[in-house]
Amino acid sequence: MAKTNLALQTLRQSLHLSSSQLNQYLLCSKKYEYSYVKGLKPTHISINLLFGTAIHTVLEAFYLYYQQHQEPLSLEALNQKFMDYLATEVVTSKIPIKYTKDLCDLGAVEEMGTKMLKSVTENIDLTDYTIEGVELPLSAPLYDEAGCETGFDLVGVVDLLLRDKASGHYIAVDHKTSRNSYSQSVCDDSHQMSLYAYLLQENGYLKDGELFHGRFDVLRKLKTPKFEQAELTRTSDQITKFTELACSVLDAVDKQVYIPTYSWACSDCSYCKLCRG
């Protein structure tokens, strides 16, 4: 864990672009400015964000334990880690936490989390895979269309890197908590998975021209939580298109193009009052 954190700190010291930065700029470049350029303090933090981070933290522990012991961590241990993490974050948060209708208080959050983790333990099957990395930090230089370095790195942390025992290919897995299923169009449009594909390619995990394989493991926030998996691929051409998009975003940031985008995302935006007045 400490080694991973040190690697993350090293990544963040360089000029870089992550999938969360890229997605934020494309969703609302004005929020990108408030957060990443001006570093303004948000008015609140969404309980959905804390919930998702807590689940990610517990799943990291789950897979690290499996990697080391070849058996899963008990459901009781997972639940305890979830509640301990959540309680610590709620108590120490210096920013007001905004609850939702479904996650109306800490008790409701803990109940949903324990149900979700039960779904994980009942559905995860690693028989056909080896675990190659957990919270794997990667970086690679970003090149422009002429093949010249931009001076920026693309960085990312792969939640889980598996290797298929039969085919030998790698599978980058990203954990998601969501009310909705992940459709094929959502998978095809994911910049995060395109970033993972680029990083694995540039770090030697993929051979020249090799197809990238990715998967979303989705824990759905329903009354009775569901665990679903959505698979996807990326070709070399699709990876190239992604780097072109990343260069376009960097160019727009360099030119200070920040335009508010009014959408469904405004209702939970922590800069909404500042932006809309």
The CATH number of the domain holding residue 173 is 3.90.320
Mean pLDDT of 8-27: 79
In a domain, 143, yes or no: yes
Angstrom distances, CA of residue 38 to CA of 11, 29, 41, 254, 274: 21, 12, 9, 14, 13
In a domain, 261, yes or no: no
What is the residue range of 219's domain?
Answer: 15-256
**How many domains are there within the chain?**
1
Is the pTM higher than 0.75? The answer reads yes
In a domain, 271, yes or no: no
In a domain, 5, yes or no: no
In a domain, 134, yes or no: yes
Res 13: pLDDT: 57
pLDDT higher than 90, residue 2? no
Angstrom distances, CA of residue 92 to CA of 54, 88, 202, 204: 14, 6, 39, 40
Q: What is the pLDDT of residues 38-90, one digit of tens each?
A: 999 999 999 999 999 999 999 999 999 999 999 999 999 999 999 999 999 99
Confidence class of residue 12 from pLDDT cuts 50, 70 and 90?
Answer: low
Res 58: pLDDT: 97
In a domain, 8, yes or no: no
In a domain, 199, yes or no: yes
In a domain, 265, yes or no: no
